[in-house]
């Protein structure tokens, strides 16, 4: 009996131990990152759409991160629960209206802005291109940099600019379609082009000066990995 009580005490102490910051933020088992290389195909080892997590699963995991991502990245006040809910609604509505899987849109949002509505606008080295909003799109109008709270209409505009595209540049809808690849491979190629402006369909790690891991990051995010 005493041995059992001691064992139970040890188990309780273990369960009550303070989790690591990542575990606290994600509130879900951590998914190990896998480096994907090549053309984004199943034959090259990339996940197919059937391997992706459900929308509910991905949004739950990433919503936990969105609660702290603004302050953690130095972007200002953290997202409110209402702002996070509006991000989810906008992604689902705009994604479906443009024929782009909302899960893919969410993955790109997390890659581009960590899901922070107050993410700053970045500018190209030559000063000619502004990249505002949740999807850091091409000269879009939607932004809540230095704005609190961020209204639902502005959140929707940020998602529209990045998915539908702007007068100045393509959105995810166009970059995915331009790859002429079917299924998940088209999404990964589209992610590469969204980040780089160009894509080598034989090797998605060719970055043209951008992030060589971008397409691999997106594939991992769709499997539940979080940065």
Number of CB atoms found within 10 A of residue 99's CB: 10
Per-residue confidence of the chain (227 residues) as pLDDT tens digits? 322 333 333 333 333 333 333 333 334 457 999 999 999 999 999 999 999 999 999 999 999 999 999 999 999 999 999 999 999 999 999 999 999 999 999 999 999 999 999 999 999 888 899 999 999 999 999 999 999 999 999 999 999 999 999 999 999 999 999 999 999 999 999 999 999 999 999 999 999 999 999 999 999 999 999 97
Annotate 137-149 with b (16+ C-beta within 10 A) or e (fewer). Answer: bbbbebbbeeeee
Could you tell me where the beta strands, DSSP code E, fall in 57-174? 122-123, 130-131
Distance CA 90, CA 18 (A): 35
**Residue 120 preceded by cis peptide, ω within 30:** no
Cα–Cα separations (whole angstroms), residue 156 to 19, 49, 93, 106: 35, 25, 9, 13
State pTM to two decimals: 0.87
């Amino acid at each position: 009996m005493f041995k059992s009580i001691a064992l139970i005490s040890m188990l309780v102490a273990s369960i009550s131990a303070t989790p690591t910051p990542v575990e606290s933020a994600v509130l879900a088992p951590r998914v190990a990152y896998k480096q994907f290389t090549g053309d984004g195909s199943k034959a090259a080892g990339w996940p197919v759409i059937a391997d992706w997590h459900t929308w509910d699963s991905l949004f739950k995991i990433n919503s936990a991160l969105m609660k702290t991502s603004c302050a953690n990245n130095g972007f200002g006040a953290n997202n409110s629960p209402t702002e996070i809910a509006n991000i989810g609604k906008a992604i689902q509505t705009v994604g479906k209206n443009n024929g782009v899987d909302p899960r893919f849109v969410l993955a790109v949002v997390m890659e581009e802005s960590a899901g922070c509505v107050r993410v700053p606008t970045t500018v190209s080295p030559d000063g000619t291109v502004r990249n505002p909003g949740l999807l850091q799109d091409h000269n879009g109008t939607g932004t809540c940099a230095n704005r609190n709270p961020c209204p639902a209409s502005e959140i929707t505009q940020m998602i529209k600019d990045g998915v539908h595209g702007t007068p100045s540049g393509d959105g995810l809808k166009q970059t995915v379609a331009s790859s002429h690849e079917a299924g998940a491979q088209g999404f990964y190629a589209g992610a590469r082009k969204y980040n780089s402006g160009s894509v080598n369909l034989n090797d998605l790690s060719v970055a043209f000066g951008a992030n060589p891991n971008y397409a691999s990051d997106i594939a991992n995010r769709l499997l539940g990995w979080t940065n």
